[in-house]
Amino acid sequence: MSQKDIYGWVDQSLSTIKKANWYRQTKAIAGKAGAVVELNGRQVVNFASNDYLGLAGDERLINAAIKATKEFGTGSTGSRLTSGHRDLHRELERAIADLKQTEDALVFSSGYLANLGTISAIVNKRDVIFSDQYNHSSLKNGAKLSGATCIDFPHNDVDALRALLAKHRQNYRRCLITADSVFSMDGDLCPLPQLAELAEEFGAMLLVDEAHATGVLGKTGAGVTEHFNCTGKPIIQIGTLSKALGSLGGYVAGSAKLIDFLRNRAATWIYTTGLSPADTAAAIAAIKIIQTESGRRQELWTNITQLKQALGKAEIVPSESAILCFGLENPEQALNLGQVLIKKGFFAPAIRPPTVPTSRIRISVMATHSTQQMQNLIDILQTHLPTS
Ligand SMILES: *Cc1c(COP(=O)(O)O)cnc(C)c1O
C-alpha cells in the first residue's frame, strides 16, 4: 500500500459520520461572553452557554486575570511538582475547599482531566465502578482508563443500583459509585442522599460531578451536595472552573488525605502544566463573588422559575437546575425550532438522538438574562412546542 493511502480511512469515516447526520462543526461566537453574543454577524440572546452567573464577561474576573498575567506571566511554565506551582494555585484550592466545606482541594487543567486523573488513581483492575448510564463522557472514560470493571446502572434508579451492588460488590476489592450531580442533557439531579446511603451500606466510595451545580445550587452555591444537606459526608466532589465560575480548569474537593494521595498518583495532574495565572486568578475572583453575592443566584432562579412556570409541562423531565429541555416529536421538528429561534435572535441548540434518546431544544438559563428576554423566548416556544 502506498504511503498516501495510510490516512484514507479518515475520509471514509467522515463520510460515514455525514451520512448518519452526526457530523458536527464549530460555530464562531464574536465579542465578549454574556447574555447577548454575536453569532454570524447578528446579536442573539445566548441560551446555549454554561456561564450561568454571567461571570465569564465580568469586569472583576477580567481585571483579576489581567493583573495576574502582568504579575506572573502568561504561562505557569511547568507542572505543579516541578517549576509550575505558585501560591496563587494554593489560594484557589483553599477557596474551593472553603466553598465546598471540605478539608482540601486540588485544581486540574480541566474538569475532564480531574475526572480522568481522580478515577484512574483511586481504583484499578481489582476494583469495580458503578456509574449512572447518563454520566458525562469524562466519568465514563475515567472509568475505562482505570482498568476497573465498569457496571452501568439505569439512570437515577436507586433500586437497580442496590441490586447490582448486592450481586457484584463482594467480588471486588474497592468499589466506586459515580454520578453527575446535575445531568447535562435533562437538568435533573442525582438522588445524592440515597447514593450516599448505598455507598455506606456497601462499603463504596462515592464520586459526584458537580460541573453544572457549583454556583447554581445550594444556599452558598456549593452545589447539589449542599442542596441535599450532604456537606461533610465522605463524598469526592469533582467540578469545573469553566461553567458558573467563568474561567478554565477543574478540581477535586475532598479529604486532606485523598488530595495528598492524588498529588502523588493522579497522572493527569502530575504530568501536565499547572493552571495559568490568568485562569487561576479569575476563578478565585469568581468564588469570592459566588460566596458574597447570593443575589446573582436568586436572579438565576427567578429566570428558571419564570421559564418553568410558563412551559413546565413541555419539559422532558422536570429540571431542578439551570438546564431546561423541551421535547419535540422528532429530530426535524427540533432542528426547525432551533432555526426559528436563531431567526428571531435566540441561540438555543436542538439536541437529537443519538446524543439523547428524544429530540429536544436545550435551554441554559443565565442570571443575566432580563425578564423581557425570558418572556420573548417563552412567547416563541409557546407558539412552536407541541400543545399536548
Ligand atoms: C463540562 C463538564 C465536564 C468537563 O469540564 P471541563 O472543565 O469543561 O473539562 C465534566 N463533567 C461534566 C458533568 C460536565 O458537564
What confidence tens digit (pLDDT) does each residue in 11-30 have? Answer: 999 999 888 878 888 989 99
What confidence tens digit (pLDDT) does each residue in 156-192 have? Answer: 999 999 999 999 999 999 999 999 999 999 999 999 9
Q: What pLDDT is stored for residue 3 in this prediction?
A: 65
Q: Which atom of ligand 1 is nearest to the CA of 184?
A: 15
What CA–CA distance (Å, rounded) separates 310 from 378? 7
Could you tell me what percent of the chain has a pLDDT over 90? 92
Q: What pLDDT is stored for residue 134 in this prediction?
A: 96
| 223 CB within 6 A, ligand 1 | no
What confidence tens digit (pLDDT) does each residue in 39-97 have? Answer: 999 999 999 999 999 999 999 999 999 999 999 999 999 999 999 999 999 999 999 99
| 181 CB within 6 A, ligand 1 | no
What CA–CA distance (Å, rounded) separates 149 from 144? 8
Pairing relation of β-strands 128-132 and 104-108? unpaired
| 211 CB within 6 A, ligand 1 | yes
Buried b (16+ CB within 10 A) or exposed e, 84-94: bebebbeebbe
Longest CA–CA span in the chain (Å) reads 65
Per the listing, cell 490568568 goes with: 278
| 180 CB within 6 A, ligand 1 | yes
* Cis check: omega of the bond before 354, within 30 degrees of 0: yes
Task: Tell me the pLDDT of the chain averaged across its residues.
Answer: 96
Phi, psi dihedrals of residue 252, rounded to the nearest 5°: -125, 135
- Identify the structural domains of the chain with CATH numbers, from first to last: 29-57+293-384 (3.90.1150.10), 60-292 (3.40.640.10)
Q: Residue 171 Cα, ligand 1 centroid: separation in angstroms?
A: 31
Could you tell me what percent of the chain has a pLDDT over 70? 99
| 131 CB within 6 A, ligand 1 | no
Q: What pLDDT is stored for residue 320 in this prediction?
A: 96
What confidence tens digit (pLDDT) does each residue in 87-124 have? Answer: 999 999 999 999 999 999 999 999 999 999 999 999 99
Give the global pTM.
Answer: 0.96
Q: What pLDDT is stored for residue 208 in this prediction?
A: 98
In the predicted structure, residue 2 carries a pLDDT above the cut 70: no
Q: What pLDDT is stored for residue 255 in this prediction?
A: 98
What CA–CA distance (Å, rounded) separates 347 from 320? 22
Task: Work out the average pLDDT over 228-242.
Answer: 98
